[in-house]
Amino acid sequence: MHSSKGSLIRIIWRDHLKLYKTLLARAFMCMLIAAIATTAFPYLLKPSFDYIFQNNSMMNLLFWGIAILSSFLIKGLASYGETFFMTYVGQKIVFDIQMRLFTHLVRADLGFFNNSSSGDLLSRFSNDVTLLRNSISNTISGFGKDILTFIFLVGLMVYRDSVLAVFACIVFPFALGPIILLGRKMKKIVNHTQNNLGSFSGHLSQVFQGIRVIKAYCAEELEIARIQGKMNSLMRLIVKSIKIKAILHPISECITGIAIICVLIYGGSQVMSGAKTIGDLISFLGALLISYEPIRKMIQLSANINEGLAAAERIFCLINVKPSIQNASKGLKLANPVDTIEFKDVTSQYSPDKQILKDISFKVNKGQTIAFVGRSGAGKSTLLNLIPRFYDVSDGSILFNGIDIREIDLFNLREQISIVTQENILFDASFYDNIAYGKRNATREEIVAAARSALALEFIEETEDGFDTLIGENGIRISGGQRQRIAIARAMLKNAPILLLDEATSALDADAEKSVQQALETLMKNRTTIIVTHRLTSLKKVNTIYVLDDGIIKEYGAHDELLAQDGLYKTLWTTCEK
């Protein structure tokens, strides 16, 4: 997405800022009061110098002193209100955008995640959102007040002396060119920096996940060199960003210096000729010097805004990606248990020249168990992923009770299915919470019963905190066999009529496999089960075995029938691990 600056601002205003119009109005009133109070100080300097010191009146000195103090108090209170309201709105907007991004990502289809770097996604969710938070908070809390203050101060300068005001402001337009140019450079640098941060985060994640492999192959120095290279690239971009931000300060200093010189030369000559009083000049200089602060802030904010817009562009680029798996507008509900699952001439492909499955047709009835076997890369897991619509077929159709699954409500479809895979994802939570993921409103009795059926109750109760024991990220604190049984317990708790098993025991040793296989047999009872495995010894009781080769069903039948055919299945049986 290459949105213009204007379109991004319109999106943020339309979708987020408008929700807080009341708070924004309150903040604007506070800005207005603060700007007037700020302008009151240089305005009061003229009577202070012209009447107090000339007349030597202590009462006048006290009166105007209290007036000046009052202007500072009013400004302080108004600034507090403006800062509170605008900062609150800024944080709420960023929170809304962050939740919008997370909601979009969590609802995205698997194809999106397969084509995206996890590091890049994390970078956009954390680094980009942080940049946007800082930009919005600083911009909407400071820009409005600074503009109003500058306008009022310029108005006062024009009121005091319009010619002098022209001298003071004549240099400002010449500064806009370099500021705009630097802003464009800043946006490009921020884009490159955020892309590099995404790559850096992704590589860090891979290093930490693969630390065992790194140590096994003595690759520590290689990875250190790679990370150092990425950090050097990041540092070069950060230095460029620092240079651009730093150069804005001397630009604003030069503008102020030139303006003050012009005022002193012209205004001083007016005072010496008697055309103006010393109070006029002091009041004008006060307004000019105070106007320097909002000018400086606005110049600095220009860099901050471009950082935020670059971050917003990357965030909304993700938000605008439409999921390829769309729920039917009037999705049908499967009122009855699924009696039949049928593949009709199903083709699945990554690209026009790379087909994974070709014209796959089969039918499985309620309560039956079928299996798909074949060499690595034959398309077995792809076939399984089509059933819950993690991906859509390229051609053909998948029917539940004769209804194309693309016409069924997606939530209702996936309610019918439980999945146990080779690498089940467990969360950094307790045994209880991980099992309860299968049914969020389950009672403790139901969760304990599911753990017992999955042969997980014994090892859970042996831990110090029982079901409340934290198992670590991806269940790192428990064994592979225990992780599988927790996943099986989760599937049992869900109690879906359809069960998909994707290499559920392939990564386990013989002892762990035996326990897991027993738990799986309990789980498979009275369910329609579709199995993908390379361990053929567990398939002797399966109703039908389909042999996939290069995305095509080459053979099918019961175990003994396939062995008698003396084909690919027999070759796999001969070479498989028994």
The full DSSP string for 71-125 is HHHHHHHHHHHHHHHHHHHHHHHHHHHHHHHHHHHHHS-HHHHHTS-HHHHHHII
Cα–Cα distance for residue pair 551/575, rounded to 1 Å? 21
Lowest-pLDDT choice from 48-62, 113-127, 278-292: 48-62
Higher pLDDT, 289 or 441: 441
Higher pLDDT, 562 or 119: 562
For residue 180, tell me if it sits in a domain: yes
Question: Are 157 and 59 within one domain?
Answer: yes
> Can you give the residue range of the structural domain that contains 14?
5-193+244-319
For residue 219, tell me if it sits in a domain: no
Question: One-letter amino acid identity for 411?
Answer: F
**Tens digits of per-residue pLDDT, 249-273?**
677 667 767 777 777 777 777 777 7
pLDDT band at 469 (very low <50, low <70, confident <90, very high): very high
Question: Are 98 and 119 within one domain?
Answer: yes
**Tens digits of per-residue pLDDT, 182-193?**
767 776 787 777
Question: Are 481 and 354 within one domain?
Answer: no
Cα–Cα distance for residue pair 231/133, rounded to 1 Å? 24
Strands lying side by side in the sheet with 354-365: 354-365, 340-351, 395-400, 403-404
Question: One-letter amino acid identity for 526?
Answer: N
For the chain, report the end-to-end CA distance as a whole number of angstroms: 53
Higher pLDDT, 440 or 138: 440
Higher pLDDT, 521 or 58: 521
Query: Once rounded to an integer, what is the mean pLDDT over residues 472-493?
Result: 86
Residue 1: the pLDDT is 44
Residue 183: the pLDDT is 67
Question: Are 399 and 476 within one domain?
Answer: no
In angstroms, what CA-CA distances link 448 with 463, 469, 488? Answer: 15, 14, 13
Q: Which of 319, 337, 356 is the last residue of a domain?
A: 319
> Quick check: 388 and 411 in contact, CB under 8 A?
no
Question: Are 264 and 341 within one domain?
Answer: no
Question: Are 36 and 133 within one domain?
Answer: yes
**Using CA atoms in the order 481, 482, 488, 489, what is the torsion angle rounded to 10 degrees?**
160
CATH number of the structural domain spanning residue 60 = 1.20.1560.10
Residue 448: the pLDDT is 92
Structure tokens at 52: 């107090």
For residue 334, tell me if it sits in a domain: yes
Structure tokens at 219: 């690759």
Average model confidence (pLDDT) for the chain?
80
Q: Which of 454, 476, 493 is the last residue of a domain?
A: 493
Query: Once rounded to an integer, what is the mean pLDDT over residues 1-28?
Result: 70
CATH number of the structural domain spanning residue 388 = 3.40.50.300
For residue 395, tell me if it sits in a domain: yes
Higher pLDDT, 109 or 178: 109
Query: Contacts from 194-198 at CB under 8 Å and sequence distance 24+?
Result: 194/123, 194/124, 194/127, 194/128, 194/131, 194/310, 194/311, 194/314, 195/120, 196/230, 196/233, 196/234, 196/237, 197/123, 197/127, 197/234, 198/117, 198/119, 198/120, 198/121, 198/122, 198/123, 198/124, 198/127
Higher pLDDT, 559 or 352: 559
Contacts of 99 (CB under 8 A, 6+ apart): none
Question: Are 168 and 272 within one domain?
Answer: yes
For residue 227, tell me if it sits in a domain: no
Question: Are 119 and 251 within one domain?
Answer: yes
Cα–Cα distance for residue pair 194/128, rounded to 1 Å? 7
For residue 526, tell me if it sits in a domain: yes
Q: Which of 443, 477, 493 is the last residue of a domain?
A: 493
pLDDT band at 106 (very low <50, low <70, confident <90, very high): confident
Is the pLDDT at 372 greater than 50, yes or no? yes
Lowest-pLDDT choice from 4-8, 227-231, 421-425: 4-8
Residue 2: the pLDDT is 46
Residue 7: the pLDDT is 58
Cα–Cα distance for residue pair 294/368, rounded to 1 Å? 75
Number of domains in the chain: 3
Question: Are 255 and 170 within one domain?
Answer: yes
**Tens digits of per-residue pLDDT, 202-232?**
777 777 766 766 776 677 888 888 888 888 8
For residue 488, tell me if it sits in a domain: yes
Question: Are 155 and 254 within one domain?
Answer: yes
Cα–Cα distance for residue pair 404/421, rounded to 1 Å? 25
For residue 218, tell me if it sits in a domain: no
Question: Are 486 and 558 within one domain?
Answer: no
Cα–Cα distance for residue pair 105/121, rounded to 1 Å? 9
Cα–Cα distance for residue pair 214/170, rounded to 1 Å? 63
Question: Are 249 and 390 within one domain?
Answer: no
Three-state secondary structure call for residue 347: strand
What is the percent of the chain where pLDDT is above 70?
A: 84
365 bridge partner residues:
340
